[in-house]
Amino acid sequence: MTDRRNKHSAEQIEALLQGTSQGDADPRLRDAVRQLDAGLAEPGSSALRDRLLASCQTGDLTAYTSRAAHFLDVTEDHARDILARCRQDPTDWPQHPVDGLALIPLELGPRHESARGMVLHLAPGARIPEHAHRGDEWGLILSGALADNLEDDKGPGDLVYRTPEMVHRVWNPGSVPALVLNVIHGGYDWLPG
């Protein structure tokens, strides 16, 4: 039996899903996912639901190619390769001692000669303990959400900047993994706690 409150049919959801290759998920797609999770959407195949939810987790990151290239000071081809690696299973990534955190080290361009670059994968609910930066830290959020004790939550496309000596804790408040391009100048120090 179909609930009359439905806003999207399975065909409409499929059409929205096809459009995710153009960049971030359409707001109507996110609404459809919420409806699916709430059990309000018209029943469709479980394969459609699984594809829909997977597309909202990391989406098609190619829309970030130019921005990632500029952010990391690399060629667009190199940025495209980095974004493709983001789609790999994070259990194959180097694991960090912090539970729920995996990372891929990155080679950066000459503008970031003395910096460390990485892609961070932070599982839902995972927390990075309090730490202080010795230099500037820049982050570009590709998917998911990121929060810290210094400002409001950030989402896909948001840029995060932390100054030297800034102390903060970071966590993923969302229900999907957070993927972040990160450039750290000068490193950081873990604080007791």
Give the residue from 188, 181, 165, 177 showing the smallest Cα distance to 117.
181
Q: Which CATH class is domain 75-190?
A: mainly beta
Handedness of CA 142, 144, 147, 152 (dihedral sign): positive
Question: What stretches of the chain show up as alpha helix (H) in DSSP?
Answer: 10-18, 27-38, 46-57, 65-72, 76-86
Where in the chain are all domains bearing CATH 2.60.120.10?
75-190
Contact 177, 123 (CB under 8 A): yes
Print pLDDT tens along the chain (193 aa). Answer: 444 444 445 555 555 555 443 344 555 555 555 555 555 444 555 555 544 544 454 467 888 999 999 999 999 999 999 999 988 888 888 888 899 999 999 999 999 989 999 999 999 999 999 998 899 999 999 999 999 988 888 999 999 998 888 888 999 999 889 999 999 999 888 888 6
Q: What is the enclosing helix (H) or strand (E) of 142?
A: strand 137-143
Torsion of CA 168, 173, 176, 177, to 10 degrees: 10
